[in-house]
Amino acid sequence: MCPVSFCWSGSLKGGGQKAFISLYCRQSDGRKVLCSSIREFLCSEAMFALGIPTTQAGSLVTSDLYVQSNAFYSGNPRPERCFVVLRIALIRLTAMDRPIARAASLVARRERSAVLLSSVILSEFISSPSSSSLSRSAWYDCNTVTVRTAKLVGLWQSVGFCHGVLNTDNMSILGLTIVYDPFGFMDRSDPEFPDVCRWNLARLAEALGAELQSAKAGAILDEFMTIYQDFYLDNLRRKLGLLRHQEPEDVELVADLLKTMHITGVDFTNTYRLLSAMSCPAGEQKDSTDLVVELIVEQCASLEELKVANNPTMQPSELERILSMAETNPGASSRSNRCAPFCYGFRFERHVSWKRCLLMINETFDISGHHIRRRLARECNEASDPAEVEKQRVKFMNSTNPTAVLRNYIAQNAIEAAERGDFSEVRGLD
Taking only the tens place, the pLDDT of each residue in 104-153 is 666 666 666 666 666 665 555 544 444 455 566 666 677 888 999 999 99
pLDDT over threshold 50, residue 341: no
For residue 157, tell me if it sits in a domain.
yes
- What is the per-residue pLDDT for 281? 76
In a domain, 199, yes or no: yes
Residue 340 neighbours by CB under 8 Å, 6+ apart: 322
Maximal CA-CA distance, the chain:
76
Residue 389 confidence class, pLDDT cut points 50, 70, 90 = confident
357 lies in the same domain as 264: yes
> Are 256 and 360 members of one domain?
yes
Q: Check whether 336 has a pLDDT greater than 60.
A: no
**Residues 98, 229: one domain?**
yes
Domain boundary among 233, 255, 271: 233
Same domain membership, residue 335 and residue 290: yes
Residues 6+ apart with CB under 8 A from 235: 154, 155, 157, 158
Average pLDDT, the chain: 76
Identify the H or E element spanning 12.
strand 10-13
Among 13-17, 21-25, 243-247, 335-339, where is mean pLDDT lowest?
Answer: 335-339
264 and 193 belong to one structural domain: no
C-beta of residue 187 within 8 angstroms of C-beta of residue 157: no
Give the residue among 388, 342, 347, 348 at the shortest CA–CA distance from 363. 342
- Same domain? 99 vs 229: yes
Same-domain check for residues 226 and 269: no
Q: Which amino acid appears at position 406 of this protein?
A: L
Q: 3-state class of 23 per DSSP?
A: coil
C-alpha to C-alpha distance for 130 and 66, rounded to whole angstroms: 50
Residues 63 and 19 in one domain: yes
Beta carbons of 216 and 146 less than 8 angstroms apart: no
- Last residue within a domain, chosen from 202, 233, 264: 233
Give the number of domains in the chain. 3
* Same domain assignment for residues 363 and 277: yes
Whether 33 maps to a domain, the answer reads: yes
Both 252 and 376 in one domain: the answer is: yes
- The residue range of the domain holding 424 is 10-90+415-429
Q: Is residue 407 part of a domain?
A: no
pLDDT digits over 22-76, tens only? 444 555 567 888 888 899 899 999 999 999 999 888 888 888 888 888 766 677 7
pLDDT at 346: 43
Instruction: Judge whether 409 lies within some domain.
Output: no
Note whether 227 and 349 are same-domain residues: no
Asked if residues 21 and 30 have their Cβ atoms less than 8 Å apart, the reply is yes
Residue 389 resides in a domain: no
- 290 neighbors 273 (Cβ within 8 angstroms): no
Final residue in a domain of this structure, among 191, 210, 233: 233
In order, the DSSP letters of 62-111 are EEEEEEEE-TT-SS--EEEEEEEEEEES--BTHHHHHHHHT-SSHHHHHH
Residue 241 falls inside a structural domain: no
Show contacts of 345-350: CB within 8 Å, 24+ apart: 345/263, 345/310, 345/313, 346/263, 346/264, 346/306, 346/310, 347/310, 347/311, 347/312, 347/313, 347/314, 348/303, 348/306, 348/307, 348/310, 348/312, 348/319, 349/312, 349/314, 349/316, 349/319, 350/307
The catalytic site residues sit at 169
Residues 145 and 169 in one domain: yes
- Residue 300 gets the label, from left (phi > 0), alpha (psi -120 to 50) or beta, of beta
| Residue at 158 is within a domain | yes
Question: What average pLDDT does range 387-408 have in this prediction?
Answer: 90
